[in-house]
Chain A
C-alpha cells in the first residue's frame, strides 16, 4: 500500500480552552467525552474540543479534521448536519418547540415507531437513554410487583443509581440491593438464577449483544435470545432490551427483531433523531396501562423539534436501508484494517456487529500497543477509540474508508517499528 505520510496534529487551542473549562466545570469535561473516561491515552494525542462538524467529519478547535468513527457516541447516524433532517427541524422550529401543551408531531412520531418497530404497540418519549432504561425497570416492577432485576455482567444501562455498583461514589447499597447478574450468552445461568429467585424477578435487562468496553464484543449464540424469551415467559419476567446503543443501526424494526424475538420493552435513544435530543421506550400492549400509571415526566420531554427531526431521520434511514449499508461499509472497513495490521505483523481483532465494530490489537494483553495505535490514528485524523465500540453513519463513503485504511496503515507501521 502506498501511504502519504501525515504530520501529527497539535492542540494548542484545545488545551487553552480546557484550562478555562477546568476553572468553571468540575473535571473540565466530565464524563465519557472527557480525557479520563474517554481514555485519551496518551492525553496529549487527543484534542479536547470540537468546533464544527459535517457529514462523517468534525474539526477540532485547532482546525484539525477527523474522520469520525464515534459519531458523537452514536447519535450521528445519517451524517452531521444532514440537510433533510435539519430542514425538518427548522420547519418545526419555525412553528413551535417547547410549549405548554404538546404538538401532534409527537403523535406522528409515535405512529411511525409503532409502524416501524416490530414489537412496539406504543411509544413513550423522554430525553436520554437512561431515562428509558429507568422507565423500563420501573414499569417491570410496577407490572410484576417484584423487586429483582437480572443484568448481564459487564452491563451499561446509563448512570442512574440502580445501574451502578457498590463501589461507586454516591451510590447506596440500597440502590442496588435487588440487582442480580448472569454472564452473557449463558442460558443455564439465567435459568438457575430465575429458579433460585422464583417469583422475585421483575425484569431481565440486556443489550441485544454484548457490546461492553475493553473486551471483544460478542454476538448472541444461536438460540440464545429464543431461550431468554422462553425463560422470561416461564417465570413471568419482563424482557427489557436496551437498544440505546445499537438501535437503528442493526434493524429498523428493532434489534430484538434482528435477533428473532420480541422484547416486552425496547429502549431507544442515540440514533433516533440524528443528534436531536430524544429517547423513546416502546413496548407491548400488555404494559401500556402500567406505563400510563407511572409518575415520570420532564421539562423538555415533549419538545416538538426533536420529534420532527426523528421522523425525518427514521424515514431517511428506511429509504437508504441504512442497516444493510452499515453492515457492508463496516465489513469493508474492518477487513481492510485487519489486513493492514497483518501487513505489519500485527493482529487486529474486529468484533461485534460491523455497524458498531469493536477493535483490539491482540499482540499484547495490556492494550498498550492498541492504545498507541489509536493515538497515532487520532493525531493523523482518524477518530477511533481504544476501549469502546465504534459507530458508522450514512455519510461515510468508500473513499473515506480507503483514506481511513491508509492512515491506519501508517499508524500500524509506527507502532510495529516499536
Chain B
C-alpha cells in the first residue's frame, strides 16, 4: 500500500458490552469485556474529538446496550460539540423519559431501535429477557411523540423472517422513516447459533416478495433497507466500501478494529486508543493495512472484474468458513470453498435447536421452547 487511505466516514463506538438482553445473534465477541476495563468518559471524549479531526462524520453509539453507560448523555454532547452526527443504537431498555430528555438536550440526531420480534412472547424469548418487549414499546411511543428521527432495526432469521411484513408495519406505526431488515450475519454468537438461526431458501424468497410489496405500499413514507442472508446469494456482500476504507470501530476497552468482527481473525494485531493516536492507527495500523487494496487478494478475486465492487467479500466469513482470512468469501460462486456453504444449506435441520444465549457463562442454553418451525 502506497496510497494514503482517505479518511473514515463512520465510527462505531461500542461503549460497553453490558446489556440487559442476551440475543443469540449478538455481534459482540464471545469473550465480553468487563465493565472495569471500559474506557473512561475523558478518554471517550478525547477519542470523539480525534475522530472528528480525522474526518469521521457519523458516530454510531452502540454496545452492548449503550444506555448501560451512565455518561451516555455526556458523550452525545461531546460528539455534537465536535460536529459529529450522533446515532444511538439501542434496545430501548434502560432509557427512561428523563434520560431521553437529556439525550435530546445533548443533541442526539437519530435513534436506531432494535426489534427482536413483533410480539412480546417471541421478542422476550429471542432477547432472553422477560418483559423486555413491553418496556421497548413504552420507549418507542415516547420516541414517536417526541419526533426523534427513528430507524427500526429488525433482525431477521429463521424465527422472525416470516414476520417481516409485520415488522415493517410496526415500524410505520412508530413513525420510523427507515427500517433496516437485515438477516443475521454469521460470526460470533450468531455462528454458534447458526443452525437455530439460518432461514430456509423458501423463507428468504417469500421475504423478498413481502419486502417488494411493502416498498410499493410505503413508497415515500418509509425507506426499507433489506439485506437477505448472503448464504443464498451468488456473490458476497461488499465489505463496507472495502476494508479500512470507510469505517472504524472502537471497542469498550479502546481497541481499534477495521470492522466489528475483525477480532475473529487470528494473527491481526490491533492498536488501542490509549496507546496511539487514532489517525496513526487508521493510516498505518497493521490490522487496517492488512486487507486494503488488492495486494492481499488471491485468485479468483485478484483478477476478477468484480473485485472493486465487493472487495472479495467478507474477511471474517472467509476466516470462519474457509479457514483463511485472505481467501475469497465462500459465498462467492467462484470461491473454491463454496461447497462448504452448500453443505451447510443442505444440512439444514427441520427442527430448530435451542439457542445458546449470549452470556458470560458460555454453557447457558435455552430452556424455553416455542413451536419449532
> Are chains A and B native binding partners rather than an unrelated pairing?
no
